[in-house]
Structures are given as C-alpha cells and as structure tokens.
C-alpha cells in the first residue's frame, strides 16, 4: 500500500507532535509515524509526569512556613500514590493529544520507520509493511537513556528515568540518584520530598555545564541543603552489585554505598537505530546526533531533523522550537535559522532555575560588551507573601546597542517568567519592549522590569532601551 503526503513526521514526542499539528493547521497533508508509545519520552516518562511530581514536592516543601502562616497540620509524600496520579494525568493528556491529531485529519501510523528514499518511508508494524511517500520528512525520534558501566538495568533495583515510569516504584526508602545533570538534580529533590532517603552521587558539580551563574548555583545548593539533599562527588564507579537485599555501589576511590534501589540520571543518546540514515547519506556526529544545518535540514534537503535526535540541548523546549522552525522552512523556503541558546532552559528542583541566551563569557567571546542588570526577589512583595524570597532576575545586555544578550531567573515561577524574555520581535528591541510594558502589582514579573531599569541606569543605556529623550 502506498500513500502520498506533504509532510511525514517520524516520532510523536513534543517536537514531532508540534510539527504535525502546526503543519496541519497551516494546510499541509500530514502523516505521523510512531514506533513506540504515542507522546514520546516527554509525555510518558519525562517532563509531564516529572512536573506532576514536582508540583507535589513543592506543596510538601511549603509546609516549613505553615506555622507562621497560621496553617495547622503536616504533609508527607506517598510515592506509590504519586505514581498513580501522574499515570492518570499522562493518560488524559495522551487521549487528548491523539484526539486532536484526528480532529486535524493528521494520519497516525503505528510502526517502525525506515527511510528508503528522499521521499519514501517504509513502516513496519504489527499488520505488515506500509510504504509512505512524502514531499518532506521531519525526523523526531528522540533519545534513549545512557546506562554507563558498571551499571546495568535491573527490574526493581536499577532504573533509568524511562523505567521509573513504566511501573509503580520499587519498595525501599533508600534511593541512590546517579548523575550531575538536570534530570538527576531534579529527581534528587523530588524523591526526597516524596519521602525517600537520597544518596546523590555525581562525578562533577551539578549543572556545571549549563551556563548558570555562580549566584544561581549557590542559591540552588543552599535550598537543596535545606531539604537535606547534598551531592556527593565520586571519581567514578568500580562495581555495582544487586540482590534481594538491595544494591551496593563501590566507587573507584573505595567508598561503598548501600541502597534499596538506584535511579540513573546519566544522560541520553540520540535514537537513530533502524532509520536507514546511512543509506541516504545522512550523517551523524561522534555523539550520534543527526547532522543538520542551521535551517534544520540534513544532507538530504527535504529531510529535517529536530529535537533530541539532532540537538545536544535535549529538552522538550528545543524540540518544540525546532518543530516550528522546520515547518516554517518547509513552507517558506528555508529562511529561518535556529539558535538553541535562545530557547529557555529550565530546571525544576529545590528552587526553579531558568535561563536563555548568552552568559558574559560567551558574549565576550563574540566580541560583545556585556552589561548586567539585577533585581532580587528578597524585596518583592509578592515573593515575600509567598514565603519564597530566594532568587533573582539577572539580565545581560549589550553596552553598545542595548540588545538583550541573555537572561537568568532563579526562584518561584521562574519557568513561567522566562517566557517574557523570549517574546519580543527580536533581541535588539527586547529590553525596550520590556521597559515600555505595563505590569501587574504585586507580581514576581515586576522584577524583570526592575532588572531592565537597573541595567539601563547603571550602564547609561536609557536612550537605547527607553528611546530618545530618556537620557544618554
């Protein structure tokens, strides 16, 4: 059986789903192909269930202020019930998601896709083999967990973040969280709030590679310590043994850690197995990412690659942004280019952390003149009223032009507030756009305005940010 479409999307995670929906909304005849669970990692085993648990964790953490607020009682976490709750949320979202695709007349195909030509895809499913033809294809096959040696997955004992959500969590209070990236930093806190005793093992300082400022990391470490979550740095792992009594981890310096089960937050690798990339001359880099241009095209111009399979950022945010750009380029002649630095990066841990754009070092490397505007939440009426005065807004502007180079928001609702830094028509006018806006009071968002005004005043950028007649 052969079918022809304007656009074929391989993978139904956030990037693939967004590409299919946007393509259909803009008039394309779209087919989306999924070889595993609809919704990909983000919906089934990533950001959606994790954010569900994070909300519970924050509710539990808030009780440290109950007495002062005149609230009586205590809260405790139940991980088993939390698992059930996220499962119900995921099922609801998945049903809505598939219903919307059907409403948009996007054709859904179950099976494993293999590219056999620039405009031809072979799909092998339980009902046999189907050939799909499409003028354009978007590869959005995501990534899979890395399980580093000497760890090996073992049901109920050694889990990846994928298998954590496959079935109810193991028994046992003592959990080792392995890794220093976003996932480990988030789960070490979330599982602690949900009642587990955490041993957090890292080989490097947590989040040290993400560009967050020293002030941001200091705030995070302080809040983690207050929650009794502390990373323990080890040089490596010598051996891992598991049995009926639990898991024993031996570090390469001889330290031994005994826990009931282990959660690996040790990164992910692009999922390209069986795609047939090599047959079409589509290359991958040394880390396995599909190689693409700034317009997100592979070496086959009508085939695009988006999200975790092609971008080292490996966030749903980047996949969604990639999807928008890929569809725009399919319809508009490949005019748009991606700069992943300006897609929000958010961490949900003992304090929310969000950033986008450059840091000072990167700006200087590009021969720009960075200037910093700062506003702390410790004097925000809204933050004080929420008992969450930790954190700040930190903006980086260009001293010559007043353009927004980057921004960082640390504290409550940071993951929501960061969007205000990405909505202006362009980065050249972003700070002016913020400065001339109108704001609710009292609100955390006001600190973005305060940081903008501080930057303008401190670095004599009033004219660039506020316009002529507002100072030099």
- Which residues belong to the active site? 441
Q: How far apart are CA 452 and CA 464, in angstroms?
A: 12
Name the strands in the sheet holding 174-178, side by side, starting at the edge strand that comes first in the sequence: 158-160, 261-264, 174-178, 197-202, 231-233
Q: How many whole angstroms separate alpha carbon 187 and alpha carbon 178?
A: 10
Q: Cα(216)–Cα(357) distance, rounded to whole angstroms? A: 15
Cα–Cα distance measured from residue 434 to residue 210, given in angstroms and rounded to the nearest whole number: 25
* Distance from C-alpha of 218 to C-alpha of 92, rounded to nearest angstrom: 38
Name the region of 95 (left: φ>0; alpha: ψ -120 to 50; beta: rest): alpha
**Token pair of 182, please?**
């976003």
Distance CA 189, CA 306 (A): 30
d(CA 391, CA 352): 9
What are the structure tokens assigned to 21, written together?
């929906």
Please identify which residue in the block is written with the tokens 């990236």: 181
Q: Of 429, 355, 436, which Cα lies nearest the Cα of 398?
A: 429
Q: What is the DSSP letter of 297?
A: B
Peptide bond into 150 cis (omega under 30): yes
Helix axes 182-193, 214-226, angle to 10 degrees: 30
- Residues 131 and 4: their CA atoms lie apart, in Å, by 9
Tabulate helix, strand, coil % of the chain (nearest 5): 35, 25, 40
DSSP code at position 289 = P
């Amino acid at each position: 059986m052969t079918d022809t479409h304007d656009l074929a999307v391989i993978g139904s995670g956030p990037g693939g789903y967004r590409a299919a929906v946007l393509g259909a909304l803009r008039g394309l005849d779209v087919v989306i192909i999924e070889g595993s669970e609809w919704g990909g990692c983000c919906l089934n085993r990533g950001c959606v269930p994790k954010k569900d648990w994070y909300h519970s964790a924050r509710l539990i953490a808030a009780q440290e202020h109950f007495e002062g607020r005149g609230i009586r009682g205590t809260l405790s976490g139940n991980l088993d019930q939390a698992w059930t709750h996220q499962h119900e949320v995921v099922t609801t979202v998945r049903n809505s998601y598939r219903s919307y695709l059907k409403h948009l007349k996007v054709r859904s195909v179950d099976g494993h896709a293999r590219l056999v030509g620039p405009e031809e895809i072979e799909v092998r499913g339980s009902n046999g083999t189907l050939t799909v033809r499409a003028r354009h294809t978007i590869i959005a096959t995501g990534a899979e967990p890395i399980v580093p040696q000497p760890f090996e997955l073992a049901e109920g004992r050694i889990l990846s973040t994928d298998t954590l959500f496959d079935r109810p969590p193991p028994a046992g209070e003592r959990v080792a969280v392995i890794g220093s990236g976003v996932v480990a930093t988030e789960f070490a806190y979330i599982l602690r709030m949900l009642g587990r005793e955490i041993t957090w093992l890292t080989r490097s300082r947590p989040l040290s590679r993400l560009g967050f400022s020293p002030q941001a990391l200091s705030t995070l470490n302080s809040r983690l310590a207050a929650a009794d979550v502390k990373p323990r740095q080890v040089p490596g792992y010598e051996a891992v043994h598991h049995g009926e009594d639990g898991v024993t981890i031996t570090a390469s310096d001889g330290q031994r850690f005994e826990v009931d089960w282990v959660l690996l937050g040790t990164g992910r690798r692009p999922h390209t197995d069986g795609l047939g990339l090599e047959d079409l001359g589509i290359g991958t880099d040394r880390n396995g990412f599909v190689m693409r241009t700034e317009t997100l095209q592979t070496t086959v111009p009508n085939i695009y690659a988006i999200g975790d399979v092609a971008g080292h950022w490996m966030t749903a945010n980047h996949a969604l942004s990639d999807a928008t750009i890929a569809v725009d380029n399919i319809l508009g002649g490949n005019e748009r280019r991606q700069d992943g630095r300006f897609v929000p990066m958010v961490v949900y841990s003992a304090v929310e952390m969000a950033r986008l754009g450059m840091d000072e070092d990167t700006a200087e490397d590009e021969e720009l003149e960075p200037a910093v505007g700062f506003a702390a939440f410790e004097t925000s009426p809204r933050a004080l009223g929420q008992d969450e005065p930790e954190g700040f807004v930190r903006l980086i502007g260009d001293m010559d032009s007043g353009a927004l180079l980057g921004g960082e928001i640390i504290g409550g609702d940071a993951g929501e507030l960061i969007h205000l830094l990405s909505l202006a028509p362009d980065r050249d006018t972003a700070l002016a756009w913020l400065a001339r806006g109108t704001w609710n009071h009292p609100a955390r968002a006001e600190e973005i305005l305060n940081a903008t005004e501080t930057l303008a005043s401190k670095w004599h950028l009033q004219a660039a940010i506020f316009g002529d007649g507002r100072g030099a």
